């Protein structure tokens, strides 16, 4: 469904991706793992077609969605037409709005009255958010904010969800919860691409994985295989 071929991307003159190729099929969970600065977030931002200053410019290669190049597309069209959206690193929730308002704003083109069912689905997924429904979202804990960020992304009715470091800053238990929820969303038909520092956790959940190192893919394969590979174990899974 999503096919990235020989993608090169740069921030100004500094090239961050030196020809990355991978693909994602419908209904899969695919993970990109790698150290800091490997180009994981850069890849997601390029996929979302976000623009500078905080995002890179694609200099070569192609991104095809169902066979059609999306390089000429703007981010909001990626969301509205391709039904693909991002849970950004650092969450980017609307801090001075309540939890419900955040969710409503994500469905900004639809009328609020009709959203109750959808919001109910999100609250079913993340019961903690239901307790905090009328609370200002910047008063939530880090884990709850991450749940809200995922919930808000789901409110765009996406069929492909990109997640940038969903485990960042979360306590281990909450982290496992988050990944269990991702698995459940995947079972409901959502295609997921997740970028993660916690490689072991990500590979346990994912169907397939790619290992990025300084802007290049150095290993790929089914997640169980990667978990067993000695060199990957040594470099990313802590021996």
Partner 1 sequence: MQRYAINIFFLVAAVTLVGLAQAGMLDKYVLTVITFMGINCIFAVSLNLVNGYMGEFSCGHGGFMCVGAYAGSLLSVAFFTNSKLFGAALFAPELAPFLFPLVLIGAGLAAALFGLIVALPSFHTRDDYLAIITIAANYIIISIVENIDAIGGPRGFSGMKKVVGLMTDVANVPWMLIWTIIGLFACVMIIYRLMTSTYGKGISAVCQNEVAAEIMGINTNRVKIMAFMVSSGLAGLSGALYAHVYGYVNAQAFNILKSTEGLVMVYLGGMGSISGVLLAAVAFTLLIEVLRFVIPWLNDVLHATGLLAVNYELGQVWKWVIIPLVLILLMQFRPEGFLGNRELTHVFPRLRRWITFR
Q: How many CB atoms lie within 10 A of CB 49?
A: 21
What is the 3 state secondary structure string of 8-38? EEEECCEEEEEEEEEEECCCCEEEEEECCCC
Q: How many CB atoms lie within 10 A of CB 178?
A: 21
Q: How far apart are CA 169 and CA 174, in angstroms?
A: 10
Please give the residues from 54 up to 93 whose contact with partner 1 meets the rule CB under 8 A.
54, 74-76, 79-80, 85-86, 88, 92-93
Helix axes 172-187, 116-125, angle to 10 degrees: 130
**100 near partner 1, rule: CB under 8 A:** no
Nearer to partner 1, 146 or 211 (CB): 146
Considering the complex, what minimum distance in angstroms separates the CB of residue 86 from partner 1? 5
Nearer to partner 1, 36 or 96 (CB): 96
Nearer to partner 1, 148 or 203 (CB): 148
Please give the residues from 19 up to 58 whose contact with partner 1 meets the rule CB under 8 A.
48, 50, 53-54
Contact code string over 149-168 relative to partner 1, x by CB under 8 A: ---xx--x------------
Q: How far apart are CA 153 and CA 162, in angstroms?
A: 9
Q: Which of 108, 117, 134, 187 forms a contact with partner 1 (CB under 8 A)?
A: 108
Nearer to partner 1, 163 or 219 (CB): 163
Q: How far apart are CA 149 and CA 109, in angstroms?
A: 18
**94 near partner 1, rule: CB under 8 A:** yes
Nearer to partner 1, 23 or 80 (CB): 80
Q: Which of 1, 105, 185, 218 forms a contact with partner 1 (CB under 8 A)?
A: 105
Q: How far apart are CA 204 and CA 4, in angstroms?
A: 24
Helix axes 172-187, 142-154, angle to 10 degrees: 10
Q: With contacts defined by CB under 8 A, how many residues of the chain interact with partner 1? A: 25
Burial class (CB in 10 A: 0-12, 13-18, 19+), 181: middle
Residues that bind partner 1 (CB under 8 A): 48, 50, 53-54, 74-76, 79-80, 85-86, 88, 92-97, 105-106, 108-109, 152-153, 156
């Amino acid at each position: 469904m999503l096919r990235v071929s020989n993608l090169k991307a740069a921030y100004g003159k500094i090239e961050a991706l030196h020809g990355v190729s991978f693909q994602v099929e419908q209904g899969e969970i695919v993970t990109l793992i790698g150290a800091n600065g490997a180009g994981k977030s850069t890849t997601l931002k390029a996929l979302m077609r976000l623009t500078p200053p905080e995002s890179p410019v694609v200099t070569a290669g192609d991104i095809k969605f169902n066979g059609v190049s999306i390089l000429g597309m703007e981010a909001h069209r990626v969301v509205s037409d391709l039904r693909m959206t991002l849970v950004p690193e650092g969450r980017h929730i609307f801090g001075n709005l309540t939890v419900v308002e955040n969710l409503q704003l994500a469905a900004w083109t639809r009328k609020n009255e009709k959203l109750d069912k959808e919001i109910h689905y999100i609250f079913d997924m993340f019961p903690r958010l239901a307790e905090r429904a009328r609370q200002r979202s910047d008063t939530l804990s880090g884990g709850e904010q991450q749940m809200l960020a995922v919930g808000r992304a789901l409110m765009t009715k996406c069929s492909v969800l990109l997640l940038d470091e969903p485990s960042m800053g979360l306590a281990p238990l909450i982290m496992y919860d988050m990944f269990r929820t991702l698995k459940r969303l995947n079972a409901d038909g959502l295609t997921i691409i997740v970028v993660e520092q916690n490689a072991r956790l990500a590979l346990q959940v994912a169907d397939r994985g790619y290992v990025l190192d300084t802007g290049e893919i150095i290993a790929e394969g089914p997640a169980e295989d990667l978990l067993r590979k000695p060199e990957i174990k040594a470099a990313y899974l802590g021996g």
